[in-house]
Amino acid sequence: MAINPKKHEMPTQEPQVRAHNFNEVALGYTAQIAVEEAKRCLNCKNKPCVSGCPVNVNIPDFITKIKEGDFEGAYSVINKTSSLPAVCGRVCPQETQCESKCTLGIKFEPVGIGRLERFAADWHNEHTKDKAQIPPSNGHRVAVVGSGPSGLTCAGDLAKKGYKVTVYEALHTAGGVLVYGIPEFRLPKAIVAKEVETLKELGVDIEPNVIIGKTLTIDELFEMGYEAVFVGSGAGLPNFMNIPGEAYKGVYSANEFLTRSNLMKAYLDDPQTPIMKGGKVAVVGGGNVAMDAARTALRLGAEKVYIVYRRSMDELPARREEVEHAQEEGIDFRILCNPVEILGYNNESDPRDPKNGFVKGIRCIKMELGEPDASGRRRPVAVAGSEFDLDVDVVIMSIGTSPNPLIKSTTKGLEVNRWGGIIVNEDGLTSREGVYAGGDAVTGAATVISAMGAGKTAAKAIDEYLSKR
Amino acid sequence: MYKIVRKKVLNPTVTQMEIDAPLVAKKAKPGQFIILRVDEAGERIPLTVAGCNPDEGTVKIIFQVVGATTELLNHKEAGEYIQDFAGPLGVATHTDGIKNVCIVGGGVGCAIAMPVAQEFHRLGAKVTSIIGFRNKDLLILEDEFKACSDKLIVMTDDGSYARQGNVTVPLKEMLEAGEKFDMIITIGPLVMMKYVTLTAKPFDVPVTVSMNPIMIDGTGMCGGCRITLVQDGKRVTKFACVDGPDFNGYEIDFDEAMSRGRMYSDFERHAHQAACNLFKKA
């Protein structure tokens, strides 16, 4: 039988419909499509896909189970190495990881590994009501700082080995960036809540409203009897461009805009937390977070949404699928453009004009690509005299973050690099004995799966460290 | 969930509560703040700590009913619970080397100024307090300030109690009379803090202001609380939640901060009205 050269399409909501609701865009494979897609896997001996996965999911094994119709079996294979399969199946950049190594991908489109992972996880969540069993205790206690992807992964792996784990979360809800950052239409919050529930069934305690570095320090965690600490406190303060006008009302960081909409539910009809809805919106940046902010603004009722990005389409760091979805929904990509100033409303004849101090536009300059820079990408250079204005009411800055200062400033002997990222060795060990770290707190803004990989590595190292004691 | 242990009405719009939060009570220092949510759907609001009792495990907050969230909070009674209470956040007020301090509080800002005054008093500094209110009915914490101040001056805008006028009037008089404060610490409405700073400037006295911008997470993640400082002619962005809330008054761009503070004033007015209507119906 000839192999279908193309992946089975992911059923999605129609772009014109989904641009006005917060329901999930991708609807997931049916059982029939999943089995058909699974049959495309060549089950090759050297399994290159596994090496492309930061948490080394045994991909050919779980795909074989799907092929055989054993969907729960497929979930069990994934669950052995990944604590958050329903999350990864949705937000991993598979095209640059597992799927980029797929043998089938040399000639055709690779197997839809991410879509199959999501299918297996969703099938399990829908059909299996058995609670996870608390493994026998080994008597050791570990504290995890932050309940984002790295913290949850580390906690899950350690709990499965019999450790008593407490996760401390600064916000009121567990999930970190999975709940405050990634929008409902890409990752429904019920899915995150389900994954957190599974960890609780494994005996993991989650303590919200505790800010490590403030409410408790790392040293106090050791005094309380924890024998090791994993720091997965995530990305911190948002970066701004330091151009004139960034203090006008209507300029948000992507973190603030997304937190208001996602965590604080400002997208609901009668929210208690306000957000500026409607009008025209410019999102500055080209990563996944920028795509999330732009598509959120659209769903909140914006009449026009621009992405302003200084390089070309080829250099957009966002996942291909997110860019395509954004384009289908009508987001206007203004590439090779860089903001130089944000323009504000200022009625000089009436200082009490309520519009005073609000954004009215963004001034950009056109860019062209010059010689390659240190990252290997061609460096964008401003074209002199090419400034132009876009009329907008809201500007969302999505140009990265710098690590949160709260833990490093209260933890003696914890070394950080010149950007403030915590320094770790290949096992995730910091400069302090028993203190491990991973995720954005170490690398700066990166992906959910790389954070999970770091949580996994640290869990293994913590297990080795405490087993020897 | 966090229990409201005690509740006391200080004036028609200002309420004091003591909340059971042992971890916060153990750590909170004057000048720091907490973030709370009243209920499951509630917004996160920052409130500066007005005192704490580490032995009992309670934290004191004092708030003015200005919007929907404070309205909801004000309808909770002792024995009831609020959903979330996290802290302490922000950097505590610096007290090192200050032997002669002037505390200038305005309105509900006096609730935040009080623990700062008490801390300096405890450390043995000479404390001069100037507290101002719109009128006699809004006066709060006079006895508490009297107990921790070497000198206390009460001002009302309309003269209905004590001396009439702005807090800057007695401040200027003292500075002109040659009083050598090591530091002036001012907490209250932005416009008051701006004029306290301008009053002190000709006398070259350092001024610390306590900023209270709009916040969401309060932990250094969203950047909504950013303010602009002017340092050596350069404009620098700082975040009140992790870099503050105390800043050098001479560096703050007050006009920008005032404008940003009004970003959601329409929304807030409507939300407060809706919350009030809800309670009227009930």
Residues of B with Cβ-Cβ distance to A264 under 8 angstroms: 43-44, 216
Q: Is residue A241 in some structural domain?
A: no
Q: Is B33 within 8 Å of chain A by CB?
A: no
Residue A356 in contact with partner chain B when CB distance is under 8 A: yes
Tokens (6 digits) for A223:
């005094």
Has residue A230 been placed in a domain?
yes
Residue A340 and residue A372 in one domain: yes
Q: Is residue A170, in this structure, part of any structural domain at all?
A: yes
* Domain finish residue from B152, B176, B209: B209
Q: Give yes or no for a cis peptide into B245 (omega within 30° of 0).
A: yes
* Domain match, A273 and A348 both: yes
The C-alpha of B238 sits at a distance from chain A's nearest C-alpha, in angstroms, of: 10
Contacts of A252 in chain B (CB under 8 A): 224
In this structure, is residue B240 part of a structural domain?
no
Of B24, B86, B220, the CB nearest to A236: B220
Verify that A255 and A393 share a domain, yes or no.
yes
Domain co-membership, B15 together with B97:
no
Residue B226 counted as domain residue = no
> What are residue B160's DSSP bridge partners?
none
DSSP helix/strand/coil, A122: helix
Residue A199 phi, psi dihedral angles, 5° rounding:
-65, -40
Does A339 reach chain B within 8 Å, measured CB to CB?
no
Q: What is the pLDDT of residue A1?
A: 59
pLDDT tens per residue across all 469 residues of chain A: 578 899 999 999 999 999 999 999 999 999 999 999 999 999 998 999 999 998 899 999 999 999 999 999 999 999 888 888 898 888 888 888 899 999 999 999 999 999 999 999 999 999 988 777 888 999 999 999 999 999 999 999 999 999 999 999 999 999 999 999 999 999 999 999 998 998 999 999 999 999 999 999 999 999 999 999 999 999 888 999 999 999 999 999 999 999 999 999 888 877 888 899 889 999 999 999 999 999 999 999 999 999 999 999 988 999 888 999 999 999 999 999 999 999 999 998 998 888 999 999 999 999 999 888 887 888 899 999 999 999 999 999 999 988 788 898 899 999 999 888 999 999 999 999 999 999 999 988 888 888 988 999 999 999 999 998 7
C-alpha pair distances (Å), A218 with each of A211, A259, A432: 11, 27, 10
Query: Is the domain of A267 the same as that of A334?
Result: yes
In this structure, is residue B236 part of a structural domain? no
CATH number at residue A24: 1.10.1060.10
Cα R_g (chain B), whole angstroms: 18
Q: Given CB atoms, is A216 within the 8 Å cutoff of chain B? A: yes
Task: Tell me what pLDDT residue A405 has.
Answer: 83
pLDDT at A368: 94
Measured CA to CA, the distance from residue A114 to residue B139 in angstroms comes to 63
Residue B145: C-alpha distances to residues A390, B100, B113, B154, B219 (Å): 54, 16, 9, 10, 31
Q: Are A255 and A401 in contact (CB under 8 A)?
A: yes
Instruction: Identify whether residues A390 and A406 lie together within a single domain.
Output: no
Residue A242 maps to a domain: no
Determine, yes or no, domain membership for B113. yes
- Sign of the dihedral through C-alpha A174, A175, A181, A182: negative
The reply to whether A182 and A217 lie within a common domain is yes
B56 in a structural domain: yes
A contacts of B220 (beta carbons < 8 Å): 236-237, 404-406
pTM of model > 0.90: yes
- Count of Cβ atoms closer than 10 Å to residue A227 Cβ: 17
Flag if B41 and A172 touch (Cβ within 8 Å): no
Taking only the tens place, the pLDDT of each residue in B185-205 is 999 999 999 999 999 999 999
Strand B81-82 to B2-11 pairing: antiparallel
User: Looking at CA atoms only, how far is residue B154 from chain A in angstroms?
Assistant: 31
> What pLDDT sits at residue A153?
93
Residue A1 forms part of a structural domain: no
Cα separations in angstroms, B99 against A30, A85, A238, B187, B246: 74, 60, 38, 19, 19
Asked whether residue A393 falls in the same domain as residue A299, the answer is yes
- Would you tell me how many other CB atoms lie within 10 Å of the CB of residue B48? 28
> Which residues of chain B have a CB within 8 Å of the CB of A208?
84, 86
**How many independent structural domains does chain A possess?**
3
Longest dimension (CA), chain A: 77
Is residue A353, in this structure, part of any structural domain at all? yes
| pLDDT band at residue B272 using 50, 70 and 90 as cut-offs | confident
Domain end marker among B209, B226, B256: B209
Give the separation between CA B63 and CA B74, rounded to whole angstroms: 9
From A104, A127, A150, the end of a domain falls on A127
Q: What is the nearest CA distance from B158 to chain A, expressed in angstroms?
A: 25
Query: What is the rounded CA–CA span in Å between residue A348 and residue B71?
Result: 36
| Coil/strand/helix, residue A272 | coil
Note whether A258 and A289 are within 8 A (CB).
yes
Kindly state whether residues B9 and B103 are assigned to the same domain. Answer: no
pLDDT the model gives residue B281: 60
Residue B127 covered by a domain = yes
pLDDT digits (tens, 9 = 90+) for B213-230: 999 999 988 999 999 999
Contact A211 B260 (CB under 8 A): no
B90: nearest CA in chain A? Answer: A214
Query: What CATH number does residue A191 fall under?
Result: 3.50.50.60
| Cβ–Cβ < 8 Å for A296, A261 | yes
A206: burial class by Cβ within 10 Å (0-12, 13-18, 19+)?
buried
Same domain as A167, residue A120: no
Instruction: Write out the E strands in A297-336.
Output: 304-309, 332-335
Q: Is the same domain home to B102 and B202?
A: yes
Sheet with B207-210: list strands edge to edge. B163-164, B151-156, B126-133, B100-106, B183-187, B207-210, B246-248
Q: Which of B85, B216, B239 sits opposite A237 (nearest CB)?
A: B239
Question: What ipTM is given for this predicted complex?
Answer: 0.92
Q: How confident is the model at residue B282 (pLDDT cuts 50, 70, 90)?
A: low
| B:52-71 residues touching chain A, CB 8 A cutoff | 68-69
Determine the Cα–Cα distance for residues A26 and A338; give it in Å rounded to an integer. Answer: 32
Indicate the SS3 state at residue A58: coil
A253 contacts B222? CB cut-off 8 A: yes
Domain interval for residue B17:
2-89
Residues of A in contact with B84 (CB under 8 A): 172, 208-209
ω into B88 cis (within 30 of 0): yes
Position B216 in a domain = no
Residue A265 and residue A345 share a domain? yes
Interchain proximity A272–B23, CB inside 8 Å: no
Q: Closest CB to A237: pick one of B69, B85, B220.
A: B220
Short-list A121, A179, A172, A118, CA closest to A148: A179
* Among B84, B239, B253, beta carbon nearest to A172: B84
- Rounded CA-CA distance A120/A98 in Å is 17
- Statement to judge: residues B83 and B175 lie in one domain: no
Last residue of a domain, one of A98, A127, A156: A127
Q: Does B37 touch chain A (CB under 8 A)?
A: yes
Domain with residue B144: its CATH number is 3.40.50.80
Domain of residue A459: give its range.
141-236+402-467
Chain A: residue nearest B89 by CA? A214
Q: Best interface-test mutation with B: which of A173, A209, A253, A401 has the largest number of B CBs within 10 A? A: A209
**Structural domain includes residue A244:** no
Answer yes or no: do A238 and B223 touch at CB < 8 A: yes
Q: Does B135 touch chain A (CB under 8 A)?
A: no
Chain B nearest C-alpha distance from A355 (Å) = 10
Q: Distance of CA A409 to CAs A217, A218, A234, A444, B218, Å?
A: 10, 11, 15, 17, 16
* CA dist., res. A392 & res. A235, Å (int): 28
Q: Kind of pairing, strands A337-344 and A359-372?
A: antiparallel
Separation between Cα atoms, residue B90 and residue B123, nearest integer Å: 21
Question: In this complex, is the C-beta atom of A273 within 8 Å of any C-beta atom belonging to chain B?
Answer: yes
Domain end marker among A127, A153, A186: A127
Query: Would you place residue B28 in the very low, low, confident or very high pLDDT band (cuts 50, 70, 90)?
Result: very high
Residue B66 and residue B112 in one domain: no
Average pLDDT over residues B79-94: 95
A38's tokens: 């699974």
End residue of a domain, out of B162, B191, B209: B209
Residue A16 corresponds to which tokens in the numbers above?
Answer: 């014109």
Provide the pLDDT confidence category of residue B67 given band limits of 50, 70 and 90: confident
Q: A256–B259: do the CB atoms touch at under 8 Å?
A: no
Report residue B98's pLDDT band, with 50, 70 and 90 as the boundaries: very high
Q: Which CATH number goes with the domain that contains B65?
A: 2.40.30.10
Residues B119 and B68 in one domain: no
A113 in the same domain as A64:
yes
Average pLDDT of the segment spanning B163-170: 95
Q: Are A270 and A181 in the same domain?
A: no
B108 and B202 co-located in one domain: yes
Domain count of the fold of chain B: 2
Tell which residue, A142, A131, A255, has the closest CA to residue A198.
A131
B2 backbone φψ class: left, alpha, beta (φ>0; ψ -120 to 50) = beta
Which residue out of A145, A172, A249 would a mutagenesis test of the B interface target, given it has the greatest number of B Cβ atoms within 10 Å?
A172
Residues A180 and A209 in one domain: yes
Q: Apex CA A25: angle with CA A20 and CA A28, to 5°? A: 155
Contact residues on chain A for B37, CB-CB shorter than 8 A: 172
Residues forming beta bridges with residue A204, ordered by sequence position: none
In a domain, A371, yes or no: yes
Residues B85 and B163 in one domain: no
Shortest CA gap B128–chain A (Å)? 31
- Kindly state whether residue B117 falls inside one of the protein's structural domains: yes
